[in-house]
Amino acid sequence: MPVPVAVTHPQGAGLKAASAAVLPSEGPFERLKREQAEQAAAAAAAGAGAAPSPALAAAAPRPAAANNGNGNGGNEDPAAPAVEVLDLEFSYPGLDGRPIPGLPPLISGMRLALPRGARVLLLGANGAGKTTLLRILAGKHMVSQDSVRVLGRPPFHDTGLTTTGDLAYVGGSWARDVAFAGAGVPLTGDFPARRLLDSVPGADPARRDRLLDVLDIDPEWRMHRVSDGQRRRVQVAAGLMRPFRVLLLDEVTVDLDVLGRASLMDFLAQECAERGACVVYATHIFDGLEGWPSHVAYVARGKLAFCRPAGEVPALQQGALLEMVAGLLREDREAKRADAVAAAAAMAAALEAAGEGGAAAAGAAAEKVILADDGLPVLTYDASRDGEMGAFSYVFNNGWVPGTLNTSLKLSTNAVVRM
């Protein structure tokens, strides 16, 4: 597990206080078992056979719903949206596992509902929150169960969505962890693509052959010799090997040629039309996409600006999707700059009100705010504040890559600025 910053402080602060004693812990299942045993003992002692409390009844395991033949439980509402997001708030944590103080949420007030069979084109600028949204929908980040539902179920908490293949996610990177590297490297190896694709559990040979044809994959490709585009084709084929009901794609066609991208889009359209699957596709490549989506969603600065049926987006009928997206991104950039100028003006006013010398400081602060790409102040490094903990602080890299269990440069002194 990651080592606390206090333990790996360069001056040794916290080393003596660190204890190797094992802390008592109790998981949720053991706690439930203990509470049920205590309740049963109390009921037996009272001789009344008391009924379980509502809290225990709610936490007790429930029988699985009967399968209706479509891979979903019998209690699933077929009229419910395939994907539903209700007032989603999300921030990436800092090194201490908590949201960084002073920074606004990356996603705020997100509300979205996508019907079954929809082909959704997800648009937005770099850093708008598209990838984060897709990863949340894929169950890769923990959020409240009521804020995100896929096929009526919370994707992070209900792991059956991904183990059954109902929910599939194909992201922009395809890597494996390497010891001592602290991160991932491209998935390569001296083995044929056939071995990798055949290892997908529950794959239908007929579907595999169809994907090999659609993506023009030679099953004898050696994975350490293929190009980036060929490796991407194998990645996409592996992600689509099992029939999905909700598919999330994040920039997966960036390495594909025109024919490969067109064939993949045709395959996805058939999946939606024939099986009622829902596909959410985030991309910045719009060649020939005007006729593909049934819905268009646009995300700007962590908020959903709109999600409309294709019939309500004139640019699709006019063949002007690229021009529409360029205009939206330009408007978003101008709005971001206006917000930065307003923030600089507010900061300047506050500094001027602070007394003499405030005007000069205000000018420097305003310049830093305006130069920031994301509308946040530009931060400078101050070595005298190393190790300081406060609203603004410097935290040392404690040797663990955030979000992984791999070491980078253990006990390194790479300072990370926190705001």
Q: What's the average pLDDT block by block, 10 residues per block, for the chain (419 residues)?
A: 50 47 55 79 74 42 39 64 92 74 83 94 92 93 90 92 91 63 60 85 88 91 86 89 94 87 93 95 91 95 92 92 94 87 80 62 49 48 52 42 44 36
Parallel, antiparallel or unpaired: strands 303-309 and 295-300:
antiparallel
What pLDDT does 418 receive? 34
Parallel, antiparallel or unpaired: strands 107-114 and 278-282:
unpaired
Measured between alpha carbons, how far is 175 from 197 in angstroms, rounded to an integer? 16
User: How many beta carbons lie within 10 A of that of residue 208, not counting itself?
Assistant: 20
What pLDDT does 357 receive? 53
Measured between alpha carbons, how far is 84 from 82 in angstroms, rounded to an integer? 7
CA end-to-end span of the chain, whole Å? 25
CA neighbor of 400 nearest in space, from 11, 135, 67, 94: 94
What pLDDT does 293 receive? 96
Q: Would you state the torsion angle of the CA atoms of residues 336, 337, 338, 344, taken in this order, to the nearest 10 degrees?
A: 110
Measured between alpha carbons, how far is 113 from 291 in angstroms, rounded to an integer? 21
Measured between alpha carbons, how far is 363 from 350 in angstroms, rounded to an integer? 12
What pLDDT does 65 receive? 39
- Tokens in use for 100? 């960084």
Q: Which amino acid is at 35?
A: E
Q: Which amino acid is at 342?
A: A
CA neighbor of 250 nearest in space, from 290, 215, 199, 285: 285
Measured between alpha carbons, how far is 48 from 57 in angstroms, rounded to an integer? 18
Measured between alpha carbons, how far is 329 from 323 in angstroms, rounded to an integer? 10
Measured between alpha carbons, how far is 110 from 15 in angstroms, rounded to an integer? 43
For the residues of 277-315, what is the DSSP string, one character each?
-EEEEE-S--TT-TTS-SEEEEEETTEEEEEEEGGG-HH
